[in-house]
Chains A and B, each alone.
Chain A
């Protein structure tokens, strides 16, 4: 289960960004996870809640946007969303489509943070 390593890295990056901004609490993390990234959302949620304990991200919500796998057909010169992530074949002309445009993302997009002035004082 590599999601724990991913959650640990996510929390590290998020806490660092929040601290740089002077925030002392992260309440939401918005992610983009590709359907071909090898990450299982449920496992990431579970790992995140454990790994976030005692950090600025403790109790924060994970908002995951799933990114479909989009490939490009060189013959039709068109892009299409794969119905099956193990079939890189153009639905129109049946040509192989090795070029992947989206679907491998593993990105942190934004954070919802709070700055508690009284706590900072």
Chain B
């Protein structure tokens, strides 16, 4: 029995990447813009998203899928906006994968949607490497997490397209140093856009909505998806399925 070396040269997450690429193509052909919200647990993804769905639903057809290890709580909260929301229970898996999203939205007609939000499982490491076919990766950081969070988690922020600093209404109460936070973000991810928001008081929310609307318009004008550019490239290019 003689050993032999087989050259493979492929991404380890090849299956996920291929599915994500197909999903991205399907979203693009139906004109659906897909943001993927990532953050640590408790940074306010669901609150931001509920307000966002509520605001955008008058002008856009919006929906959301949300991943959690357990419970349907977040989908129920999102549904209070009046937009369709589906819960993915990951059974203790710490991130969403493309096939989970594909299965969850299987019953939806993409032609009836303008924006499909994905709320990832609260985790600042694990969602990094899973492409979900999104157009935009939004990283939330709450002021309660401290200014050095970006420096502690350089991996995820380097796949993000925009940082949203949430709960800005609490900044003074928790002694949040805004200048230092912005400096840290720009040290670990130079040039990234940062938007400060409070979903509770509405502070900064208009800028967030405007940013999203601008991104939707850019996609409709046929500009390349920034998320697709930021994600690591495969060693070998695979032919489209």
* Residues of B close to A25: CB separation below 8 A: 1
Asked if A104 meets B158 with Cβ closer than 8 Å, knowing A2-B95, A37-B129, A112-B3, the reply is yes
Asked if A17 meets B187 with Cβ closer than 8 Å, knowing A2-B126, A37-B129, A37-B155, the reply is no
* Residues of A close to B241: CB separation below 8 A: none
Specify the main secondary structure of chain B where it touches its partner.
mixed
Interface 0/1 of A76-94, CB less than 8 Å to B? 0000000001111100000
Asked if A88 meets B189 with Cβ closer than 8 Å, knowing A13-B12, A38-B155, A106-B12, the reply is yes
* Residues of A close to B158: CB separation below 8 A: 36, 100, 104
In the complex, whether B16 has a CB less than 8 A from a CB of chain A is yes
A23 touches B4 (CB 8 A): yes
Q: How far is the CB of A8 from chain B (nearest CB, A)?
A: 10
In the complex, whether B8 has a CB less than 8 A from a CB of chain A is yes
A87 touches B5 (CB 8 A): no
A31 touches B6 (CB 8 A): no
Interface 0/1 of A15-39, CB less than 8 Å to B? 0011001010101000110101111
Complex Cα–Cα for A17 and B79 (A): 44
* Residues of B close to A104: CB separation below 8 A: 158-159, 232
In the complex, whether A116 has a CB less than 8 A from a CB of chain B is yes
B13 touches A6 (CB 8 A): yes
* Residues of B close to A55: CB separation below 8 A: none
In the complex, whether A109 has a CB less than 8 A from a CB of chain B is yes
Size range of the interface on A? Answer: 35 or more
Pairs A-B, 4 closest by C-beta atoms: A96-B190, A104-B232, A2-B126, A38-B155
A residues contacting B by CB (< 8 A) are 1-2, 5-6, 9-10, 12-14, 17-18, 21, 23, 25, 27, 31-32, 34, 36-39, 85-89, 96-98, 100, 104-117
Beyond A86-B151, A87-B187, A109-B9, 13 additional pairs, beta carbon < 8 A: A2-B95, A2-B126, A17-B6, A21-B6, A38-B155, A88-B188, A107-B9, A107-B12, A108-B9, A111-B6, A112-B5, A113-B6, A115-B4
